[in-house]
Amino acid sequence: MRTFLTLSFTVILALMLVGCAKYPQAEIDAAQAALNAAKQAEADRYVPDLYNAAQKTLNDALALADKEKEAFFSNYDEALKLFASTKEAADNSANAVAAKKEEVKKEAEALVARVPEEVKNAKKMWQKAPRGKGTREALAAIKADIEAQEKAVEDVNATLTAGDFLTARQKAQAIVDKLLALQAELQPKK
């Protein structure tokens, strides 16, 4: 009888210890810190797919940990795996930023380099545009647009210098698109 009581007590104690698994706050903090570091590195802007996947994994891990916290016998093994995956995914996204920034920077610089040629083409087409009744105002507006796009490159260069390559690429693409649209407008009608 005494052996049975000792064994029962041991089993109950073991179950209580298993059921009282410690909430993985340190792992949560480490995963969140890795995600914050990735955001600081601008992973959310430059590699959003990788960053968002890490964020989703963290959210799933937190939900699982909270669910286990409410269980009588808490087991955080799966949540711990997800927290480790979150940290790894966040680190990977942060590490991918430098290469992506360089790629975007080169794209922005290529677009900026293209602007003078597109301005030259637009100006040449503007000079050859037929003049006539009612075209004076339209041609003056087009010339002003061409000059505005040519001047807008200064803002793109300042944005590049500031290191905001995504915005620089977006602005440079908008300039090129506008110049191409102006050239299309100046195209002789057939």
For 96-154, the pLDDT digits (tens) are 999 999 999 999 999 999 999 999 999 999 998 888 777 888 899 999 999 999 999 99
pLDDT of residue 13: 46
Cα radius of gyration rounded to whole Å, the chain: 30
pLDDT exceeds cutoff 80 at 16: no
97 in Cβ contact with 46 (< 8 Å): yes
Eight-state DSSP code of residue 22: P
The upper half-sphere exposure of residue 132, i.e. CA atoms within 13 Å in the direction of its Cβ, equals 3
Considering the chain, what percentage of its residues have pLDDT values greater than 70?
89
Q: Binning pLDDT at 50, 70 and 90, where does residue 57 land?
A: very high
H helical segments located in 20-135 = 25-40, 43-46, 48-70, 77-128
